[in-house]
Amino acid sequence: MHNLFITCNIQLLWVIHALESIGEVIDRLITVDIGGRGVILKLYSAVREKSEGPLVLSTAKSLKENVSKGDYVIITTGFRIPPLFIQETDGPTGAASIARAVDVALGATPIMVTEPIELSQKILEVACRSIGLSILPTDVVKKPGIKHVTTIIGFPIDEKEAYEEAKKIIDEFNPSAIIAIEKASRNRKGVYHNMRGLDITPYHSKIEYLFEEAKKRGILTIGIGDGGNEVGMGIIEETVRKYVPYGDKCQCPCGGGIASSSITDKLIVASISNWGGYALAGLLGKLTNKPGALHEPEQEFKMLFRISDIGSVDGINGFAIESVDNVPLDIHISLIKMLREMIKR
């Protein structure tokens, strides 16, 4: 009996070590500085100092611990690119990937939240449909036994309306977690900026009210970003101010910099925010022994092709093409292939 106990403990330690190793490799993969911006490793190091182990693995574990079958998980994204303020390609596909994993791996129902703009909601809808989720009205999604579905809610741009809507949404769904991926966030002066340091406040949902309401009720909050101006990046605000262009001083009259002031319980940083979402989906599948939680390479093609076809634009080059942050489609497909291979181990 004693030898059996020792053997079981050794096997458990081996599994834990193997999982930690996979987590480390996945963190490294999604923080490869493919765009040459020169800041991602500094951002990663700053978050890692505050994290219990690899960022994605730590976040996936928290989700698994907090979310039960039949629960609701709110997932929000939204970054509109000037001059036309159209939703960019970074965010919607990552949000859809997480939604699929929440459904497949955790047995929970994802609730999608974005700007109250028809095109923004349509882009998110197309991304979700491309990986197998049906979009249904809220009252239908809430029926017992419904699977592989989500609904899309437009969240107010007006401050007062956002404050009221936040309470309403949390009351209605009582979510176990709320996740923001590539979601525009305000600085310490209450102003939202793009990476060029320009004021984009009038065009984005005041989503922080949703996170503040969630925190009041002890709900797990998660942020995923790549530049420092997204929800959750307030955890490393000083690092963003020090290393990210316009982090400390923006180009708009507020002069407060683009650094986000919002803080979440968990934060994942990646070279491209979508990659952080894909990695989280993959590790949720790994932890629950459901590798199919992460979408397939062919579905990555479908998502990017379809959302760009209806108008979603690359956040850097501005073209409505199948690229994200100036990184072409084939790179994103390759990343999915690598993630799927890693979680098999």
29, pLDDT greater than 90 = yes
| The predicted structure's pLDDT at residue 109 | 98
2, pLDDT greater than 60 = no
242, pLDDT greater than 80 = yes
When pLDDT is averaged across residues 338-345 and rounded to a whole number, the result is: 92
**What separation in angstroms does the CA of 27 have from each of 155, 270, 278?**
31, 8, 11
Which range is least confidently modeled, 142-146, 164-168, 260-264, 325-329? 142-146
The overall average pLDDT reported for the chain is 95
For residue 292, what are its two tokens? 């199919």
6, pLDDT greater than 70 = no
Residue 13 pLDDT grade (very low, low, confident, very high; cuts 50, 70, 90): very low
| The predicted structure's pLDDT at residue 12 | 42
Just give the CATH number of 2-342. 3.90.1640.20
Q: What span, in angstroms and rounded, lies between the C-alpha atoms of 261 and 232?
A: 8
Q: What span, in angstroms and rounded, lies between the C-alpha atoms of 208 and 186?
A: 8
126, pLDDT greater than 50 = yes
| The predicted structure's pLDDT at residue 127 | 99
For residue 139, what are its two tokens? 């009252």
Cβ-Cβ contacts under 8 Å for 224 (sequence gap 6 or more): 94, 179, 180, 181, 182, 230, 232, 267, 268, 269, 270, 273, 276, 277, 280
When pLDDT is averaged across residues 282-309 and rounded to a whole number, the result is: 98
pLDDT digits (tens, 9 = 90+) for 114-123: 999 999 999 9
Give the Cβ contact number of residue 87 at 10 Å: 28
284, pLDDT greater than 80 = yes
pLDDT digits (tens, 9 = 90+) for 302-317: 999 999 999 999 999 9
| The predicted structure's pLDDT at residue 98 | 99
The two counts, helices (H) then strands (E), for the chain are 12, 11
9, pLDDT greater than 80 = no
- The structural domains of the chain, with segments of one domain joined by +, span 2-342
- Sheet of 134-135, strands arranged across: 134-135, 149-154, 109-114, 72-78, 177-183, 220-225, 266-269
Find the helix or strand (DSSP H, E) in which 336 lies: helix 329-342
Predicted structure pTM score: 0.95
Place of tokens 């999982």: 19
**What separation in angstroms does the CA of 282 have from each of 42, 84, 277, 278, 325?**
24, 34, 9, 6, 22
| The predicted structure's pLDDT at residue 5 | 45
SS3 for 216-262 is HCCCEEEEEECCCCECCEHHHHHHHHHHCCCCCCCCCCCCCCCCCCC
pLDDT digits (tens, 9 = 90+) for 98-109: 999 999 999 999
Q: 26 burial class (0-12, 13-18, 19+ CB within 10 angstroms)? A: buried
